[in-house]
Amino acid sequence: MSDMPLVSIIVPIYNVEKYLQRCIDSLFAQTYVNIEIVLVDDGSADRSLSICKKNAKQDERVRVFSKTNGGVADTRNFGVSVARGQWISFVDPDDYVDPDYIEYLYGILVKSNATMSICQHRNVYKNGKIQTNLYEGPAVLDSHTAVKRLLYDDQIDTSVWAKLYPAWVFKKIHFPKGRLFEDIAATYKTFLASDSIAVGSEAKYSYPFRYNSIVNDQFSLHKLDLIDMTEQMACEVKKVYPDLQIASQRRVLYAYISTLNQMQNVDGYQEIREQLISKIKELRKPVLEDHKAPIRDKVAICLIGFSYPIYRKAWKIYLKIKKGEEVSA
């Protein structure tokens, strides 16, 4: 065990009885055995806590904590505060990982002597379609390059999962309590705190894509947190790396488009919708001229600028295709 430092796998839990056992089973199956599984229940009203306790009786590596509901950011922070490992990884309770998830992350980290590591993930859809995000590029990135790729959504994203972090990084980095999209507020800071980041080409993390998740469910004013979190990230990044100003603006623009997309099937909020469209038009010029900006962004920007109703129809068709539904003429 001396050459296998303890890894804490933190699972924030809230009303996920339907998916939780699958997640825990995938953690029990880890080939890297020196782990502790930190299950933090955030005041669930279903059987989630009892499922946690049952599994704790079966494996001494499981540690169960129950707290008053405070949201996923608060739950992640709590998990970090009780973690005993030298390394930390997060797994969401409705996701699952490959048996060699930790072994792979730790292996590429040690091989490259990096500060932290990342693996790829696969989106799993209800229709059985699996989309694997394959990484192309250097196996080791410096902080600047990693942040740049994140800003361009270039095979590195803001999700806190599918990564292995040194525990010390969370002494100064915390998830913002009570806010949605808390990953965005923390992940880029771990990149800024790292000398180097090992990026693996293989997918070891499975993300079942559900349209009722935080990212995909009905719009509420809390969804505006996406814009706030992204603008804060852009502001901080530009202070450290001024040359990433356009890349930061691209990411902010993406947040506005994504928020607008979440309002597609919602009545009301017309003033907010108009403000979002106005802001997209205001920010679009340097992004349209940036050859590194994704084509999908440029198409969306142009359609929104030309006619929002046309863009709305195009977005609905895109969603149907992505969900594997038949598109009517």
Convert the pLDDT of each residue in 7-41 to its tens digit: 999 999 999 999 999 999 999 999 999 999 999 99
Domain ranges in the chain with CATH number 3.90.550.10: 7-208
pLDDT at 217: 60
pLDDT at 329: 34
pLDDT at 328: 40
Name the residue among 248, 236, 262 with its Cα closest to residue 292: 248
105: exposed, middle or buried (Cβ count in 10 Å: 0-12, 13-18, 19+): buried
- What class does CATH assign to 7-208? alpha beta
From CA 237, how far away is CA 226, in angstroms rounded?
A: 16
Q: Between β-strands 7-13 and 163-166, what pairing exists: parallel, antiparallel or unpaired?
A: unpaired
Mean pLDDT for each consecutive 10-residue tract of the chain (329 residues)? 86 97 98 98 98 98 98 97 98 98 97 96 87 82 96 90 98 95 96 97 91 60 95 97 97 95 86 95 95 92 94 84 52
pLDDT at 211: 56
CB 246 within 8 A of CB 286: yes
pLDDT at 159: 95
Mean predicted lDDT score pLDDT of the chain: 92
pTM of the shown model: 0.92
- Which residues are CB-neighbours of 102 under 8 A, at least 6 positions away? 7, 9, 30, 31, 32, 35, 89, 164
Token pair 């679009």: residue: 284
